[in-house]
């Protein structure tokens, strides 16, 4: 069995997920990293002393012995780096969100289609046990035909993670509805069996604009501190904040169903709470990872008394055990062509709803239509990246 060799672009922080790829006994080796930040370079080399580290990702791409790369850099780097990697003939694992514009996503898809280099999107929520259980319930027909989906996304660590570095500026992230919501919009599309065709949004920056800022010379500290509460007492915020800290969008899907997503960055607790309502019942997650429950209602009654309760348990690995499952799916996709749960068209359509939702909330809440993709490109990706 031939060894597959990997390079990590963004070698630490979220790039540490790529460290899981390294399993020489099974024929997978991380041989190089590229990172612009000394601390991340050092962390990578401490983990992989035999590997090479580059400052410029283009030097990593020049290496013929590297078969695949994982790109886990900030969102605004994704488009350029993914296109360069695909053109260099590397298979690409690209973190979500695919890019910060719809055009950027479409350019990545087109490049993957033209080069034939494989593309995998890192939507790990498609490997969360809670999401998979809700999908199984919906697919079994237990709640009938789903017509309505809602997600309330409470984020306790928003001030720590998203308002102290590049995330806080539209030019680098477009906005947090897209940045964070790419996960949730994707989950809603997946479980509801359609893609958003029209979206309208409202959002505001209403809390974190009032917090103490760091100086532009200082690096933002994006570590999470449980004692950082209440929000107005937090400090060290980005000099420039032009993204919303509260986002709400309504979506009409192409299969006639409707969805709603709400995201708040200054909540005291953290959870994604989804519910899907069909013609025969309703499903809701109580907790999103670890020990949590999925509740199902099939008869008239009260919220406190679901008809069925499924109990889920702690799983090993980050993000509720989803990261190692997703990494395995990437390896199986590379080596055996096995179809993963994630798919690049879905990633693009999640970005599209996020971008247009932001556009709507910044332009009088107008309903915005999602631009359609080329049919040939859709067909290629729906066929698991095999040309017919």
List of residues contacting ligand NAD (CB under 6 A): 9-10, 12-15, 34-37, 40, 57, 72-75, 77, 95-96, 122, 124, 165, 319
In the complex, the smallest distance separating the C-beta of residue 159 from ligand NAD, rounded to whole angstroms, is 15
Query: What is the CA 322 to chain-centroid distance, rounded?
Result: 12
Q: Are 294 and 130 in contact (CB under 8 A)?
A: yes
CB nearer ligand NAD, residue 99 or residue 249: 99
**Rounded to the nearest whole angstrom, what is the least distance from the CB of residue 124 to ligand NAD in the complex?**
5
Smaller CB distance to ligand NAD: residue 77 or 82?
Answer: 77
| Residue 161 CB-half CA count within 13 A | 15
Considering the complex, what minimum distance in angstroms separates the CB of residue 330 from ligand NAD? Answer: 12
Q: Mapping DSSP to helix (H, G, I), strand (E, B) and coil, where does residue 342 land?
A: coil
375 C-beta neighbours (distance < 10 Å), count:
8
Indicate the residue among 29 and 288 with the shorter CB distance to ligand NAD: 288
Task: Using the structure block, give the residue that is written with the tokens 């904040």.
Answer: 241
DSSP state of 66: -
* CA distance linking residue 102 with residue 218, whole number of Å: 32
Least distance in Å: CB of 34 to ligand NAD? Answer: 5
Handedness of CA 112, 116, 121, 126 (dihedral sign): positive
Could you check whether the bond before residue 230 is cis, i.e. omega within 30 degrees of 0?
yes
Closest to ligand NAD by CB, 122 vs 181, is: 122
Q: How far is the CB of 134 from ligand NAD (least distance, A)?
A: 18
Which of 76, 53, 228 is closest to 158 using CA atoms?
A: 228
* Minimum CB distance to ligand NAD, residue 41 (Å): 8
Between 15 and 159, CB nearer to ligand NAD? 15
Instruction: Report in angstroms how near the CB of residue 276 gets to ligand NAD at its nearest.
Output: 22
Q: Are 126 and 187 in contact (CB under 8 A)?
A: yes
Give how far the C-alpha of residue 302 lies from the chain's centroid of Cα atoms, to the nearest Å: 34
CB nearer to ligand NAD: pick between 8 and 138: 8
Pick 122 or 149: Cβ nearer ligand NAD: 122
The first and second tokens of residue 321, run together, are: 């055990």
């Amino acid at each position: 069995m031939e060894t597959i060799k990997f390079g990590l672009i963004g070698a630490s922080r979220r790039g540490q997920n790529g460290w899981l790829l390294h399993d020489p006994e099974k024929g997978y080796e991380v041989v190089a990293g590229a990172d612009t930040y000394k601390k991340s370079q050092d962390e990578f080399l401490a983990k992989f002393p035999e590997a090479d580290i580059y400052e410029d990702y283009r030097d990593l791409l020049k290496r013929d012995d590297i078969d695949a790369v994982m790109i886990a850099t900030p969102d605004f780097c994704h488009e350029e780096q993914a296109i360069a990697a695909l053109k260099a003939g590397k298979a690409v694992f690209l973190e979500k969100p695919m890019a910060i514009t719809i055009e950027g996503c479409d350019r990545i898809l087109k490049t993957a289609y033209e080069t034939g280099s494989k593309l995998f999107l890192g939507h790990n929520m498609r490997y969360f046990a809670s999401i998979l259980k809700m999908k199984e319930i919906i697919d079994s027909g237990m709640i009938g035909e789903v017509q309505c989906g809602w997600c309330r996304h409470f984020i306790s660590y928003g001030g720590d993670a998203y308002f102290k570095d590049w995330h806080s500026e539209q030019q680098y992230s477009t906005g947090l509805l897209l940045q964070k919501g790419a996960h949730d919009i994707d989950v809603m599309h997946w479980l509801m069996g359609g893609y958003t065709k029209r979206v309208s949004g409202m959002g505001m920056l209403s809390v974190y604009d009032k917090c103490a800022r760091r100086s532009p010379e200082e690096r933002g500290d994006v570590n999470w501190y449980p004692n950082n509460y209440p929000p107005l007492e937090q400090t060290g915020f980005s000099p420039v904040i032009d993204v919303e800290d509260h986002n709400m969008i309504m979506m009409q899907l192409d299969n006639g169903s409707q969805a709603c997503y709400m995201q708040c960055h200054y909540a005291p607790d953290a959870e994604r709470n989804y519910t899907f309502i069909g013609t025969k019942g309703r499903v809701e997650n109580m907790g999103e990872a670890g020990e949590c429950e999925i509740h199902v209602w099939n008869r008239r009654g009260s919220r406190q008394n679901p008809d069925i309760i499924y109990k889920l348990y702690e799983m090993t690995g980050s993000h509720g055990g989803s990261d190692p499952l997703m990494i395995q799916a990437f390896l199986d996709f590379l080596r055996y062509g096995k179809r993963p749960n994630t798919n690049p068209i879905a990633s693009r359509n999640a970005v599209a709803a996020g971008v247009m939702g932001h556009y709507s909330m910044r332009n009088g809440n107008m309903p915005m239509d999602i631009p359609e993709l080329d049919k040939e490109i859709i067909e290629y990706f729906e066929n698991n990246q095999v040309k017919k």
